[in-house]
Every structure is written in C-alpha cells, then in structure tokens.
C-alpha cells in the first residue's frame, strides 16, 4: 500500500517509549497515515500508548502539550515522564503540561552534581547538575543518563566510594567511572 507523504506523520518515542515503538511497529520512525488533524492524546490512544506514559510531545522540534493538534506532514515524538532535570526548563516542559497528570512532579527534590569520566562522557556533559526526587541513588542517575550499569564500575559520592544503591543528599557530588583497564 502506498501512502501519500503529505497524508502521513513521522512518529518516534524517547527513552522506554522508543523500545515500545520498535516492538510494536518495527522500524523507527513510524510513518503513520493521517488524513486530518489529531491531538497528541488521541494519536497516543490510536497507537495503543497509554497517555499516562507521555509527559509532553515534540511536534516539528518544539515541545507541546498533549492536546496540541498534529497535522499531516508533522514530525512527532512522545516523551515519557522522567527526562533528566536540567533539560526540563530549557525545553519548556513546565509551561506546556501543567494540566497533564503524567507531569513529572518533584515535590521533595535534591540537586546533585554529576561528573562523568573517560568513556562515559561520550556525547554527555562532563559535569551536570541534576534535580532528583529525595531518596534517589546513583543507579537512578545512570538509568536517566542511559548508561549501561556494567559501564558504571566505580561510584563516588563526595570523593568517597559508594554503591549504586547509596542514598543521595542535596548538594552531593556523584562521580561515575567506567571499568579501569591496562596492564
């Protein structure tokens, strides 16, 4: 079946939604037929994605609320709750989803400096400030930064050895090192 390009949209998912999309639909981006405008929430339901799994949508590169109207030819990406803290304000999440029950609300929060070393930097920042829920641990940071746990061999909190399950406090500095090699 051939679908006219102007009667379709490109759809993607971030974080765990990417895996859901790949499992359900195969290749990404999903080229989805669309004859008339549809809201983000209705598109999610149409694709079988629970709206509670979506905090905001990107439409043509801009953050929008779930009730934003999507048109044929648009590029859409669903973002789940839990995107790392420093990007939330810069991308405009707070202004777009005040009425969304999936809004990632941090009632009791802490601010933690995260330092990544050697190969863990890759395309990540060497040092970043993260806003996390109180009670978070280094394992939560590596999950948010999508670092495979086996790649986080050494964890230090404020210069002292720690485990992945160590409880973090406000203003802690977490240093994460990859496995050390050599001879």
Last residue of a domain, one of 37, 71, 96: 96
Residue 105's CB is within 10 A of a number of other CB atoms, namely: 9
How many helices (H) and strands (E) are present in the chain, helices listed first?
5, 12
Report the predicted TM-score, pTM, of the whole model to 2 decimal places: 0.50
Structural domain contains residue 101: no
Label the pairing between strands 160-162 and 154-157: antiparallel
Is the residue at 102 inside a domain? no
Name 80's Cβ contacts closer than 8 Å, sequence gap at least 6. 13, 14, 15, 16, 17, 53, 54, 55, 102
Most confident of 16-20, 60-64, 157-161: 157-161
d(CA 154, CA 147): 13
Instruction: For residues 141 and 74, state if they share a domain.
Output: no
Identify whether 50 is preceded by a cis peptide bond (ω within 30 of 0): no
Query: CATH code at 12?
Result: 3.10.20.30
Whether residue 91 sits in one domain with residue 32: yes
Domain end (from 56, 74, 96): 96
Band the pLDDT of 1: cuts 50, 70, 90.
Answer: very low
Is residue 103 one of the residues assigned to a domain? no
User: Position of tokens 């999950």?
Assistant: 143
Q: What percent of the chain has pLDDT over 90?
A: 39
Please report which confidence band the pLDDT of residue 38 belongs to, taking 50, 70 and 90 as the band edges: very high
80 and 10 in a common domain: yes
pLDDT at 28: 87
Cα distances (Å, whole numbers) of residue 2 to 5, 33, 71: 9, 10, 19
- Among the three residues 96, 124, 151, which one is the final residue of a domain in this structure? 96
Query: Mind listing the pLDDT tens digit for each residue in 125-147?
Result: 888 888 888 888 999 999 888 88
Please name the residue ranges forming H helices in 9-149. Answer: 16-25, 40-46, 86-91, 93-96, 138-144
| pLDDT tens figures, 78-116 | 888 766 555 555 555 555 555 555 554 445 688 899 999
Tell me: do 135 and 169 sit in the same domain.
yes
Q: Which domain holds residue 172?
A: 109-177
170 and 114 in one domain? Answer: yes
* Residue 57 burial (CB count, 10 A): 26
């Amino acid at each position: 079946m051939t679908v006219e390009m102007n009667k379709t949209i490109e759809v993607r998912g971030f974080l765990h939604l990417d895996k859901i999309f790949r499992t359900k639909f195969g290749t990404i981006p999903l080229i989805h037929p669309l004859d008339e405008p549809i809201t983000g929430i209705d598109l999610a339901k149409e694709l079988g994605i629970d709206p509670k799994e979506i905090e905001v949508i990107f439409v043509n590169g801009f953050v929008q609320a779930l009730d934003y109207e999507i048109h044929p030819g648009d590029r859409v990406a669903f973002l789940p709750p839990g995107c790392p803290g420093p990007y939330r304000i810069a991308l405009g999440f707070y202004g777009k989803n005040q009425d969304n029950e999936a809004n990632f609300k941090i009632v009791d929060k802490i601010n933690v400096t995260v330092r990544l070393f050697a190969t863990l930097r890759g395309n990540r920042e060497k040092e970043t400030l993260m806003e996390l829920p109180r009670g978070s641990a280094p394992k939560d940071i590596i999950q948010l930064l999508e670092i495979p746990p086996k790649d986080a061999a050494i964890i230090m909190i404020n210069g002292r050895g720690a485990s992945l399950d160590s409880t973090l406090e406000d203003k802690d500095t977490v240093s994460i090192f990859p496995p050390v090699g050599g001879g």
